[in-house]
Every structure is written in structure tokens, then in C-alpha cells.
Amino acid sequence: MKKREKASKIACVGLLASALTFNNYSIMFDAKADTVSNSSANSQVVILTKDATVDRTIEQFEDQNKDAALTDVQEKLENKEIQVDVTDSSKDTVFDEDTSIFADATEVEGNSQYQKVLKQELNDGNRVFLYGDVSAEEYKDILGLDKITVDNDSAGDLEFGSSNDEIKSNIAEDKNSKVKEDEFFKDTESKFTSHIIGYTLDDSKELQFIDISVNNFDGDGKSIPNSESMLMQEVMSTQSEILDAENEHLADEAENNKTSMIGVKKAHATNVRVKDTYNLVAKGYRLGLLVARMDTDYHLYKQNSDGNKKYDYFTLKPVTQVHSYKGIWAGSILTDIDVPSDSDHLDTWAPMGDRGGAKMSVSLGFPFNISAGMSFSESLVLDDRSSLAYDYARWQIKDSAIELNQNISGTTFNPVAGWASTGTYATVGLKVVGSFSNYITLTTKTKVTYDY
């Protein structure tokens, strides 16, 4: 593969998942007391690079005054919960267990020794991150992986980084599929570029796959290239979030240990969660300072007992939270759930209709049986732009105050949409756009595909 030049960043992050195959759904917790640790996790970061400025950048970040948006990671560095080593040597290097290795994608792509070492670290169960301008598909190519798969509890595997050709081949091989190639790729970029891609082959670890977009803007909101210091800051922030997830997992294990056994079987559940994706993250910098962040998780549910022989019913519930810092204000969240196949039909969505207030309810009746509520710190306005005719559920939520005083930082928005699907593949598009002051826009975008 030709060596890539470092390119300007784009204000878009997306994951393109290929077809999924799942077994019967089952959750069983049966933890023994002597197998659950009560200790907090600690983490080691190794940055593999020939750039001599990286070490100095890390030291400057550790020594600078606390940044309100970065206090958590700076405290972990100060308390040695996160320890960072920078090295340019890949020869005879032995990394400890549970180490995260970060490396510049461009350097690794042109260095066979780096590739060999990082591939071995993946095989040993460590996390390997590539940073720069890199897609999940390129991550696979650089490190010589056939697939990037993520364990989805006991339900099956989720695959990332599939090329368009690979996905088209999977669709073509399925004789029962009614999804056409042009429908599947409609309004979807053929290549997504992110700025930090991380993965571990150890499916017992939290956040097995991570995809982060970093967006830098000038004072007028125009896109400018990411700096090395920004990427290093994101490297350490990513490790901080991994550590938080691992500590939360330890706490959950301890709690589950108090319960003798909890079981959910597919045959008895009203609907079952068949797919989760976490850490669709987009961050906005202004002149190199972190000023905006948008996190989106999504949950896909399949209705289990609808009694309809023609259709299967699915629900997508995205959860998005926005934060802004340093005088930048979060203005709005736009969520778009699009059903692309002519044979599938949007059935219902919630919240439905324009409304406002500090609380909103989300409820879908039979056959979806999903309900939730949202509470906000202030009164917000919801603009429902959904269309049954064109099969999309679309909302924008923003402050109810006059436009000059909008700030919804900290707001979490979790709408839902339900649709009826035929054939073998259930496919839906998800796009979330966060708008901030100074013309900063963050976007996450994905295709959610389920093979059933």
C-alpha cells in the first residue's frame, strides 16, 4: 500500500459495520466471590514514535494548569494511575500485560518492524492504537488483520472496517437478502477517516474497539489541521476513559456477585437487545484547545413475539450527549434515523410532535414495547421533522431561549424509532449532528445492519 501523506482533518466520524450473525440471546451472571477483584485498575501507555517532540508534549500536558475539560485525565497522570512511556525502539521490546500501545499510523505503515511488534502485541491481548488520519479499514491493512471483530456479549460478533467490496460480497452471497447494494450505500461515504483507532483481540476487555474523530477549527470556524499536541492529549484522554470503563466493570462484577443468578432467555423476553455500539466520539478544538465534545451510543432491539409472519420489528435507540467548554456554547442536537430499503417501513417514533419543556417521555407501544424518559436542566424545544412517507425519524433539540443565549451543554437526548423489516437484513442509517457557537459542527454517522 502506498504511504499516505498526512491530510487535513474532516469534521465527520463514522463506523460502517458489515453483516452480523448472532446466536440465541442469553445473559447469565454467576460470579464467584474469589474471582472478583475490588481493586481499581491502573494502566500503562507506551507511545511508539520517532518524533522527539512527543515526550516533551506529554510533560507539558502533565505540568500545565488544570483544564476543566481535562481535569480527570490530568489527575490520573498526577496520581500515577496512568503512566506514559515514549520510545522509538521496537527491537527486543517487551510490553507488560494490559498495556496500551499508541503509534503514528504513517510511521507504522512505513516500518515493517513496527508492524511486526504491534501485530504481536495484538496477539498477546494488548490494545494497539493508531493515531493520525486513519480509517478502520486502513487499520486492518497496516497491521495485517483479516477482520476487526468485537464480542457482543453472548449474542455474536460485530465487525468493523469492512471495505465496500467486502460488504457487497456478503450481500451478494445471501440469496434471501432483499437489500440492494445501491440502497445499502445510499448517502454513505465510501471511506471514513478518524484520528484515533484502537483495538484489542481480548474480547473480555471493556471498549474493545474505539473510534475517535478530532476536529480543529480556527477563530472563524474553518477547518485547520490537527496538531501533534492535540493528538497526544487525546491519546491520554482515551486511556483515561478506558480506565474508567474498567473500574466500572470491576464495580459491576462486585455487584453482580451479590446476586446468585440472573437470566434472560430469548424465548421469554418481550424484546432483546441484539447490538450495542459505544464510543462514537467527535471532539472539536478551537485553535488547539478542546471546546466541544459529542458522544453517541446506540442500542438496537428486535421484537421477539410480534406474531407477524411478513415483518420483523426493530427499534433503534441512540443516546447522544454534548458538552462545550471555554466560552463555546452547545446550540443543538440533530438526530436522524433513516430506513433506506424500499421493502422496510418506518412504523413509529418518539418523541412525536413538536414540544418543549424540561421533561420529555419516550414510549413506543406494541410490538416495540420501549419506554424511557428525559430530564433537562432547563426548558428545551424539540422540532420533530419525521416523515412516514420518506421513512425517516428526525429531531432537532435546542434551547428555548432566544438564539443569542443558547447553551445546552450537558444535555442528553435519547429518542427512539421503530420499523418493520422484511428479508434477511435489517438496515438503518444513523446520523447525529451537534452545532456549537463559532460555527463548530460535529457529526457522527453510521449504518446499523443486522443479519437475522
With a threshold of 0.85, does the pTM exceed it?
Answer: no
How does the average pLDDT of the chain come out, rounded? 75
> 280: buried, middle or exposed (CB in 10 Å: 19+, 13-18, 0-12)?
buried
pLDDT digits (tens, 9 = 90+) for 210-223: 888 888 888 888 88
Give the model's pLDDT for residue 328: 92
Closest CA to 200 of 241, 138, 143: 143
Across 128-132, 192-196, 403-407, least confident range: 403-407
Separation of alpha carbons 139 and 129, rounded Å: 9
329: left (phi over 0), alpha (psi -120 to 50) or beta: beta
Give the model's pLDDT for residue 106: 92
Find which of 105-109, 147-151, 404-408 is predicted with most confidence, using mean pLDDT. 105-109
Q: In this model, does residue 306 exceed pLDDT 90?
A: no
206 neighbors 249 (Cβ within 8 angstroms): yes
